[in-house]
Structure 1
Amino acid sequence: MSLDFSVLAGNMDYFYKGVQWTILISLLSVLFGVIFGALLTLMKRSKFKIGKVKPLSMLATAYIEIIRGTPMLLQIMLVYYGFDQLLNINMDPLPAGIIAVSLNSAAYVSEIIRAGIDAVDKGQLEAARSLGMSQFMAMRLIIMPQATKNILPAIGNEFVTVIKESSMASVIGVGEIMYSAKVITGKTFRAFEPLIVAAIFYFVITFTLGRIMNYIERRMKASDSR
């Protein structure tokens, strides 16, 4: 069977809308993932104790391990159906997909932030503390500005990953790129051509974003060498 892309001529609007939804889901998911991931990092590094137990640290660690140890597809379906069955909330597919992808991204972003902070020489924190700075002030003024340079490139890579993994939200009816390909397949009875076009859109988005992140990383390294 030969390829026939002419059948897609009148259906490209589905892909254009799918690209918009994919980018929206990815942007919001990474944004919320960074916020929640930062909170998880603070919880994991917390020294709050009840007896000999660090409940905040244990809770954050358990969450991260569970999220990283289960498939995103399962997490999306749990969020979508869980809100309905457990909370009696009939959630639309789009917000359910954003919540699920955000919760997943937060676990990975938390580890990115932790690694970025740990990469900064611990002697700098000790020196700041010896000068009379509080833990919070030392982290804000000394550690985090340096850690950010380690964190930002990795956050960019997480953004690229989320763009690809957002395709799993199509299983609950979110109209992103893969869902658009399925719709066009149903209309044209051609499966291979829509998948090729979907792959091209994903590649263009991730390749472009990857080049932008590489440029930003080079600029940051150049500023360090001055």
Structure 2
Amino acid sequence: MSLPSDFFGRIVFILQNYGPSFLAGAGKTMAIAVLGTLIGCVIGFAVGIIQTTPESKQDNLLKKVLVKGIKFILNVYVEVFRGTPMMVQAMFIFYGSSALFGINMSIVFASYFIVSINTGAYMAETVRGGILSIDPGQTEGAKAIGMTHYQTMLNVIMPQALRNIMPQIGNNLIINIKDTCVLSVIGVVELFYATKGVAGAYYTYFEAFTITMVIYFVLTFTCSRILRHWEKKMDGPDSYDLATTDTLAYTSGMVKFPDPKEKEGK
């Protein structure tokens, strides 16, 4: 079958003959982006919490030195991975691990590892900012009732910080969906790598990458809508019941915030 001469005819031809290649590449892209973002969030939360751990004057010298040393190492990690391109990191880690340490990473493991630690560096700063954005009075109140630092972070600070940083988590996922294309430099067969193979078969670069651009847009747009819906679910309903067990000061009732559209109508 010969290649059609018109643009849309070539698009249809490519999809008919290489549709599975595009789907396989898109599936690999999403797998790396989603899992890498999840692992990166875990790394980011751990690093962010450690970075915001308060230092007490009552701590012994060994603990102070240990905490400062760990924070310094984590700060170096964050600055290095936020200050260098992921493509360079991929080349350095994949080839450097073999040259320096004799560790022969598989391409699959390397792809997840690189995206995870890169995302972790960005998420660490996001988590740190989210924790610091919470009113210090929340921490003081928790400590006043006898909570430890761990209990305060787990039950008071992190639930509030998580809602504040949800948009950035979604943003990191969308960035990772697009940035997985840089992993093609180490041979990861994701969407971009698959597209290059398809485009080279008939020299239809414009048509092939038009299809890829649409696929990337569908993936990112769908993820952004799902995450936006999740954020609204975390906000809860606009109306809620204020309840109290004190019958002498009963304040239970329906509270509804004014609708901005109603204000504009007035």
TM-score w.r.t. the length of structure 2 is: 0.79
Identity %: 36
Give the secondary structure class of the aligned counterpart of 1:49: helix
Amino acid at match of 2:136: K
Superposed, which structure 2 residues align to 1:120-139 within 5 Å?
120-139=134-153
Once the two structures are TM-superposed, the CA of residue 98 in structure 1 deviates from its matched residue by: 1.2
Q: Structure 1 stretch 195-204 or stretch 88-97: which is displaced more?
A: 88-97
Q: Does 1:156 align with 2:162?
A: no
Q: Which has the higher contact order (CA 8 A, sep 6+)?
A: 1
- Which of these residues, 60, 68, 72, is aligned with residue 86 of structure 2? 72
Give the secondary structure class of the aligned counterpart of 1:70: coil
Superposed, which structure 2 residues align to 1:93-132 within 5 Å?
93-132=107-146
Once the two structures are TM-superposed, the CA of residue 126 in structure 1 deviates from its matched residue by: 0.4
Once the two structures are TM-superposed, the CA of residue 166 in structure 1 deviates from its matched residue by: 0.8
Match of 2:197 in 1: 183
Do 2:49 and 2:127's aligned partners in 1 also have CA atoms closer than 8 Å? Answer: no
Give the secondary structure class of the aligned counterpart of 2:64: coil
Once the two structures are TM-superposed, the CA of residue 210 in structure 1 deviates from its matched residue by: 0.7
Deviations 1:157-198 (Å, cap 9, x if unpaired)? Answer: 111111111111111111111011011022222211111111
Superposed, which structure 2 residues align to 1:186-197 within 5 Å?
186-197=200-211
Match of 1:50 in 2: 65
Whole-Å separation in 2 of the counterparts to 1:93 and 1:191: 26
Whole-Å separation in 2 of the counterparts to 1:65 and 1:225: 43
Amino acid at match of 2:165: I
Question: In the comparison of the two structures, how many residue pairs are matched?
Answer: 225
- Which of these residues, 39, 42, 57, is aligned with residue 46 of structure 2? 39
Amino acid at match of 2:65: I
Whole-Å separation in 2 of the counterparts to 1:96 and 1:225: 48
Structure 1 residues 113 and 225: CA distance shift in structure 2, 3 A? farther
Once the two structures are TM-superposed, the CA of residue 26 in structure 1 deviates from its matched residue by: 0.7
Match of 1:92 in 2: 106
Amino acid at match of 1:173: G
Once the two structures are TM-superposed, the CA of residue 55 in structure 1 deviates from its matched residue by: 1.0
Whole-Å separation in 1 of the counterparts to 2:52 and 2:102: 35
Do 2:111 and 2:188's aligned partners in 1 also have CA atoms closer than 8 Å? Answer: yes
Do 1:43 and 1:57's aligned partners in 2 also have CA atoms closer than 8 Å? Answer: yes
Report the aligned-residue RMSD: 1.9
Is the radius of gyration larger for structure 1 or structure 2?
Answer: 2
Match of 1:5 in 2: 11
Do 1:44 and 1:58's aligned partners in 2 also have CA atoms closer than 8 Å? Answer: no
Deviations 1:126-169 (Å, cap 9, x if unpaired)? Answer: 01101111111111111111111112232111111111111111
Once the two structures are TM-superposed, the CA of residue 60 in structure 1 deviates from its matched residue by: 1.1
Structure 2 segments unaligned to the other structure (5+ residues):
56-62, 241-266
Structure 1 residues 179 and 225: CA distance shift in structure 2, 3 A? farther
Whole-Å separation in 2 of the counterparts to 1:224 and 1:110: 31
Runs of 4+ in structure 1 over 3 Å off: 222-226
Structure 1 residues 225 and 50: CA distance shift in structure 2, 3 A? farther
Once the two structures are TM-superposed, the CA of residue 96 in structure 1 deviates from its matched residue by: 0.9
Deviations 1:90-136 (Å, cap 9, x if unpaired)? Answer: 22222111111111100111111112211211101001101111111
Once the two structures are TM-superposed, the CA of residue 225 in structure 1 deviates from its matched residue by: 6.0
Structure 1 segments unaligned to the other structure (5+ residues):
none
